[in-house]
């Protein structure tokens, strides 16, 4: 109610001011003292105020620069990021110089060429010199920016070093999974038909194929048993029959994977959630896919970003140069962390797509890798009477479940 009264008071006050202005204008007309044109003194006053505004305008611009620059990202933590920061700085220099020069001319001309009855502006329809000037100069700067940027882009997306660490980043609504190539340095085969609770990336190995086939066969058998209890000709029967057909087609596809070559490549892959480690000073080749919609892998501190597109693979690589511990010291922030974020608005919980990146020395990285379970270990079947641990990935956590 209070808000409505305030709005009503503002509206009524505005109407009252407008009515007072109309009364003033009508009274001035009756006295013959109103004119639509400003006087010479008013023009000169306004022209001087243009210079005053120019000074205040640039003072505010300088204040904004010094006030907000500390909130920018810290120095780049990757080799290529230095080149990208230089490119961005070059762009800022060009923009700032053009901004300052054009506004100086804008306000100075308003002061110098104040209206005068004795002066008339020159009118011309075309100038080859001006056209050449404002076409050539921007084209030169744009060419430099494009060449510089293209060179940096090609360096990021070309073939990585032979000893590069390979990591796949796999997003879905709304989390990330990181998969490391094992000792063979190659990622295992994968397919969406293989995706399950224990195989979120659909990795294809002999063990995962057998496990997925068993799960599908059990599901089909369960649905067929349920079909015996539902009325014939009803919607429920139609729905269950269609589900059985779908699972049957999927089962055939899954069984066909057992005849593929290189199904053993995925056995030594490592799947991690919540956070992943990379060694400082070593080239890291990132491979991206997506389960559902377009996501965007964004690592701001490394000046790296790449779209993750369903049905295709994208990649880039970089060399991290500053460990997490070193960046904590540089930023004087004990809670600092590198993050993998999603830079596409991919759904209601988009804000929750975050994964910590730990940049560490190689010894610490090797120790962490040694503590992780391989994919083959996470899907190993239980032996006679023995319970084994199966890694079940739920949300952003890894829970160990005995079977």
How do residues 21-69 score in pLDDT, each as one tens digit? 888 777 766 766 555 567 778 888 899 999 999 999 999 999 998 999 8
Q: Rounded mean pLDDT of 297-314?
A: 93
Instruction: Look up residue 293 and give its DSSP letter.
Output: S
Helix residue ranges per DSSP H, 32-78? 40-68
pLDDT at residue 35 in the model: 56
Is 327 inside any structural domain?
yes
pLDDT band at 380 (very low <50, low <70, confident <90, very high): low
Pick from 401, 383, 290: nearest CA to 342: 290
Do 174 and 49 have their domain in common? no
- When divided into structural domains, the chain yields a total of 2
pLDDT at residue 393 in the model: 35
Helices 235-256, 206-227: axis angle to 10 degrees equals 160
CA 318 to chain centre: 17
Is 137 inside any structural domain?
yes
pLDDT at residue 382 in the model: 41
Is 59 inside any structural domain?
yes
Do 126 and 180 have their domain in common? no
Count Cβ atoms within 10 A of the Cβ of residue 293 and give its class: 0-12 exposed, 13-18 middle, 19 or more buried: middle
| Domain termination residue (choose one: 137, 157, 177) | 157
Residue 291 has pLDDT above 70, yes or no: yes
Do 379 and 307 have their domain in common? yes
Do 149 and 170 have their domain in common? no
Higher pLDDT, 118 or 286: 286
Q: Which residue has the tokens 């907000």?
A: 68
User: What is the H or E stretch that residue 158 is in?
Assistant: none
Instruction: Look up residue 113 and give its DSSP letter.
Output: T
Is 10 inside any structural domain?
no
pLDDT at residue 83 in the model: 87
Pick from 216, 238, 237: nearest CA to 227: 237
Q: Rounded mean pLDDT of 331-350?
A: 93
Least confident segment among 146-150, 281-285, 299-303: 146-150
pLDDT band at 385 (very low <50, low <70, confident <90, very high): very low
**3 state SS of 183:** coil
Do 176 and 128 have their domain in common? no
Residue 401 has pLDDT above 60, yes or no: no
Residue 389 has pLDDT above 70, yes or no: no
CA 273 to chain centre: 19
Do 43 and 174 have their domain in common? no
Q: Encoding tokens for residue 56?
A: 């205040």
Q: Rounded mean pLDDT of 369-383?
A: 79
Q: Rounded mean pLDDT of 122-133?
A: 88
Are the CB atoms for 103 and 54 separated by under 8 Å? Answer: yes
pLDDT band at 119 (very low <50, low <70, confident <90, very high): confident
Least confident segment among 95-109, 177-191, 376-390: 376-390
Summarised one tens digit per residue, pLDDT across range 228-244 is 887 887 788 889 889 99
Is 248 inside any structural domain?
no
Residue 339 has pLDDT above 80, yes or no: yes
Do 45 and 150 have their domain in common? yes
Is 78 inside any structural domain?
yes
Helix residue ranges per DSSP H, 281-378? 324-331, 362-371, 375-378
Higher pLDDT, 118 or 383: 118
In degrees and rounded to multiples of 5, residue 357 shows phi and psi of: -110, 120
Is 325 inside any structural domain?
yes
Residue 305 has pLDDT above 90, yes or no: yes
Q: Which residue has the tokens 């220099």?
A: 93
- Cα distance between residue 270 and residue 291, in whole Å: 18
Report the CATH number at residue 343. Answer: 2.60.40.420
pLDDT at residue 178 in the model: 95
Do 71 and 179 have their domain in common? no
Least confident segment among 158-162, 299-303, 343-347: 158-162
Do 173 and 120 have their domain in common? no
CA 18 to chain centre: 49
Residue 397 has pLDDT above 50, yes or no: no
Q: Rounded mean pLDDT of 70-88?
A: 90
Domain region containing 382: 165-185+269-402
Q: Which residue has the tokens 């194929």?
A: 209
Residue 353 has pLDDT above 90, yes or no: yes
Do 70 and 176 have their domain in common? no
- Cα distance between residue 199 and residue 183, in whole Å: 20
Do 296 and 396 have their domain in common? yes
Residue 76 has pLDDT above 90, yes or no: yes
pLDDT at residue 101 in the model: 93
Are the CB atoms for 380 and 211 separated by under 8 Å? Answer: no
- Cα distance between residue 338 and residue 361, in whole Å: 15
Helix, strand and coil content of the chain, in percent to the nearest 5, comes to 50, 15, 30
Is 225 inside any structural domain?
no
**Interacting residues of 339 by C-beta distance below 8 A, sequence separation 6+:** 299, 300, 301, 354, 355, 356, 357
Do 293 and 380 have their domain in common? yes
């Amino acid at each position: 109610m209070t808000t409505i009264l305030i709005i009503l008071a503002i509206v009524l006050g505005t109407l009252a001011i407008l009515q007072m202005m109309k009364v003033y204008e009508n009274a001035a007309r009756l006295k013959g003292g109103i004119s639509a044109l400003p006087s010479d003194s008013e023009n000169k006053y306004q022209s001087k105020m243009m210079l005053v505004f120019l000074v205040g305008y640039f003072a505010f611009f300088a204040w904004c620069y010094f006030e907000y620059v500390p909130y920018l990202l810290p120095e780049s933590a990757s080799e290529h990021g230095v080149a990208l920061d230089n490119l961005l700085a070059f762009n800022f220099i060009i923009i700032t110089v053009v901004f300052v020069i054009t506004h100086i001319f804008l306000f100075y001309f308003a002061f110098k060429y104040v209206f005068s009855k004795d002066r008339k502006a020159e009118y011309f329809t075309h100038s080859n010199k001006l056209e050449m000037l404002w076409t050539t100069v921007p084209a030169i700067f744009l060419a430099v920016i494009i060449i510089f940027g293209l060179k940096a882009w090609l360096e990021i997306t070309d073939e990585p070093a032979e000893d590069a660490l390979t990591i796949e980043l796999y997003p879905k609504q709304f989390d990330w999974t990181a998969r490391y190539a094992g000792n063979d340095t190659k990622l295992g085969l994968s397919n969406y038909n293989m995706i399950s609770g224990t195989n979120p990336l659909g990795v294809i190995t002999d063990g995962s194929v057998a496990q997925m086939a068993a799960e599908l066969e059990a599901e089909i058998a369960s649905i067929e048993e349920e079909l015996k209890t539902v009325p014939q000709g009803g919607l429920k029967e139609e729905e269950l029959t269609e589900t059985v057909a779908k699972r049957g087609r999927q089962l055939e596809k899954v069984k066909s994977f057992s005849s593929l070559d290189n199904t053993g490549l995925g056995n030594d892959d490592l799947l991690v959630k919540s956070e992943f480690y990379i060694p400082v000073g070593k080239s890291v080749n990132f491979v991206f896919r997506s389960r559902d919609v377009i996501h965007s892998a964004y690592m701001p501190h490394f000046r790296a970003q790449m779209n993750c597109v369903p049905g295709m693979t994208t990649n880039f690589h970089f060399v991290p140069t500053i460990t997490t511990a070193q960046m904590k010291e540089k930023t004087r922030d004990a809670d600092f962390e590198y993050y993998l974020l999603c830079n596409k608005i991919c759904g209601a919980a988009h804000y929750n797509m975050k994964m910590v990146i730990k940049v560490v020395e190689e010894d610490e990285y090797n120790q962490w890798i040694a503590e992780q379970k391989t994919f083959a270990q996470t899907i190993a079947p239980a032996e006679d009477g023995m319970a084994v641990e199966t890694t079940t990935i739920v949300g952003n956590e890894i829970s160990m479940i005995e079977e």
